[in-house]
Copies of this chain bind each other. A is one copy, B any other.
Amino acid sequence: MDFSKSLIAASSKPLILGILQQGPNYGYDIIQQIKTLSGGQLEWADGMLYPVLHRLEKERLVTSQWNQSDNGRHRKYYAITELGKAAIHQEQEHWLAMHHVLEKLWSLNSKTFHG
């Protein structure tokens, strides 16, 4: 699947916030989770993720903190804020509203063909 830029853009915020809602996480692992979650359909490059994370931090939807991990590597852990949790809710509402509009349209069109 070759998703359009605009669809990637529209999904990036709810996707990343949703993953962070499960607990604080760092960039590299977020990319892996996106891949796993989508059954390999979505493969984010690191150059795509970090600007989004920085943007979310600027919007105060996430906070970041440097941490040493077990293997000595330093990782920047991102955690969702209360504001971020509220944003998830709103993102979900918007997505579902748009989804229902499209579903309605698609059902109208399938009726045109089959009825």
Chain A residues in the interface with B (C-beta under 8 A) = 1, 3-4, 6-7, 9-15, 18-19, 21-22, 37-38, 41-42, 92-95, 97-99, 101-102, 104-106, 108-109, 112
Contacts and interface: CB of A to CB of B under 8 A. Distances in A.
A21 B112 contact: yes
A112 B4 CA distance: 31
Number of copies: 2
Contacts of A21: 109, 112
- Leading 7 A-B pairs by shortest Cβ distance: A10-B10, A6-B9, A18-B105, A6-B10, A7-B10, A38-B101, A21-B109
Contacts of A42: 101
A37 B109 CA distance: 13
Contacts of A92: 102, 106
A9 B13 CA distance: 14
B15 A102 contact: yes
